[in-house]
Structure formats: C-alpha cells, structure tokens
Amino acid sequence: MFKNEYQGGAFVEIFSAQGKNPGAKWKILGSPSVIWKEFDKEVKSFVFVLEGSSQTNKIQLPKENKQILGLIQRFLVLQIYIPLGQDFSTELLITDLGNIKRRLYLSTVHKELSSTPLHAKIPLFMIKRKIWCNLCIDLVAFTSEIFKGAVFQSLDGIIVSANCKLRKIFTLKCKPKDTADKDAGYGVPFPTAEPTDIIPRSCQLTTDVPQVTQLLNMTKLRQTEMKFGGHPLSSADSDSKIRWVQK
C-alpha cells in the first residue's frame, strides 16, 4: 500500500480518525456498539473508540491478508488513550531482510517476554494510561534483539485491539524525545547522546491536551525490570511482572 509512495520525509501517516470514512481501508472486527468514531472534546478532534474484548474487537490494516503495507521507517507511533484497568493489544507484521515474516504481539495481557523464531509476545505493563500517549515502537530494535540476527526491512501489517481511543497512526524516520519517564534511567545509564526529533506538527495534539511520548524498545523493558530490583517480580506483582524467557 505504501511501498511505491515516498517515505523519505520525517513521517508517513497511516491512519487519521478525521475525514468522512477513516476506516474505509481497514478491516473492522467488531460491531458498531464496540468500535465507533466520535468527536472527543478533550483533543478537539475525531477519534476511533475500541471497547470490549481485546481478543475479538480490533481493526486491521491492510484489509486483505494478501496485501502488504511496505512501511520502511524505523519508528511506529500509535497516538492513543488507554483507560485504567482495561486490556490493550497491538500486533505488528514485520518482514526482515531475508524476506522472513515475523509477528510482534504487544499486549497488557502478557506478563513476560517470550519468543519463537517467528513470533514474539511483548508485555505492555509499563504503558501510560489515562493520558494521551504517542506510543512509539522501535521496530528496528525489537526485530534485531528478539529475533537474533534479523534486520528490519518493512512493517507490513498492523492490528490495533480494544481498549483504546485512537487518533492517529504514523511512522517516523527519527526517534522522538521520550517524555513519559522523568526518572527513565532507574539506575541504568540513560543514553543522552542520541539525537531526538519532535513529533511532526501535523501529527501533534494541541499543547493544552495532557500528553506524553513513550518510547518502547528492549532497553526500556529492561530498565523497568531494574526499577523493581533487577529480577523478575513475584506473581503478587502481576500488574508489572516481567521475566525474560526465550523459547
């Protein structure tokens, strides 16, 4: 869908809730009672709302499985609002330089990171809730660190599941500044030399909207583990437990 389009700029917009029929290119799995478009007074723009079961209520791009997105920029950003106490998931279809397709399944349901050669389950226990979030997923880092030796080539499919409000989805060429973790290091040296960019103006929320930009990569997951003592949490801490498992 995007393979033959110019992707050399700062960003590529994949989805916007604005316009007459923003879901036209998406496969919508769920009834209008659980997935709908509405005007959000806080952000002063339209959003998609996904409610109910994260297993069954979701939107998928491309609509047909035989199609591919062909998105090549490093960072995928979901501009979302996730409520407290509700599950949220997103599934990404990645193609590496060897043309092997692999899936990243990021979910609040997962309590540990686990992977096979073609599939990874990534916990989202650290995700920011009850605030608008530019959730920025480092596709290159996850591909290379989870699937050892694999090199990211393209993002070819996206599924976004309940529960969330969704305003935009876009890719970025450069890493945005992470504003979610004021104490991001958690005792781990935090790289400050890496250049960061701002969210492109046309993708930004207005400045009066409470918001954060949260970067997700393997380093961030490990930093959160370090925050809790550098070891897996007990089952009593199920909301933020993580163990590193390679299957």
pLDDT for position 242: 36
Q: Which amino acid type is present at position 115?
A: S
Q: Provide the residue count of the chain.
A: 247
Higher pLDDT among residues 221 and 56, named by residue:
56
Q: Specify if 232 maps to a domain.
A: yes
Mean pLDDT of the chain: 88
Q: What is the pTM of this model?
A: 0.88
Share of the chain above pLDDT 90, in %: 76
For residue 233, pLDDT over 80 is answered with no
- For helices 218-227 and 139-146, the axis angle rounded to 10 degrees is 80
What would the pLDDT profile of 76-115 be if each residue is shown by its tens digit?
A: 999 999 999 999 999 999 999 999 999 999 999 998 899 9
229: left (phi over 0), alpha (psi -120 to 50) or beta: left
pLDDT for position 193: 55
Mean pLDDT value across residues 104-130: 95
Residue 53: pLDDT band with limits 50, 70, 90: very high
pLDDT for position 3: 86
- Cβ atoms of 125 and 111 within 8 Å: the answer is yes
Question: What is the rounded radius of gyration, in angstroms, for the C-alpha atoms of the chain?
Answer: 17
For residue 182, pLDDT over 70 is answered with no
pLDDT for position 232: 43
Single out the residue of 40, 42, 34, 13 nearest to residue 158, CA to CA.
13
For residue 123, pLDDT over 60 is answered with yes
Q: Specify if 154 maps to a domain.
A: yes
Residue 224: pLDDT band with limits 50, 70, 90: confident
Name the token pair of 190. 């935090």
Residue 143: pLDDT band with limits 50, 70, 90: very high
Residue 197: pLDDT band with limits 50, 70, 90: confident
Q: Specify if 57 maps to a domain.
A: yes
For residue 237, pLDDT over 60 is answered with no
Torsion of CA 228, 232, 237, 238, to 10 degrees: 130
Q: Specify if 34 maps to a domain.
A: yes
Q: State how many domains the chain has.
A: 1
Q: Specify if 123 maps to a domain.
A: yes
Domain range for 112: 11-237
Residue by residue, DSSP assigns 16-39 as: ES-SS-TTTTSEEES-TTTEEEEE
Q: Specify if 242 maps to a domain.
A: no
**Strand-strand pairing, 119-123 and 101-107:** parallel
| Rounded CA separation 131/84 (Å) | 10
Q: Specify if 244 maps to a domain.
A: no
Single out the residue of 216, 227, 182 nearest to residue 92, CA to CA.
216
pLDDT for position 196: 76
pLDDT for position 160: 98
Residue 174: pLDDT band with limits 50, 70, 90: very high
What would the pLDDT profile of 58-81 be if each residue is shown by its tens digit?
A: 999 999 988 999 999 999 999 999
Q: Specify if 3 maps to a domain.
A: no
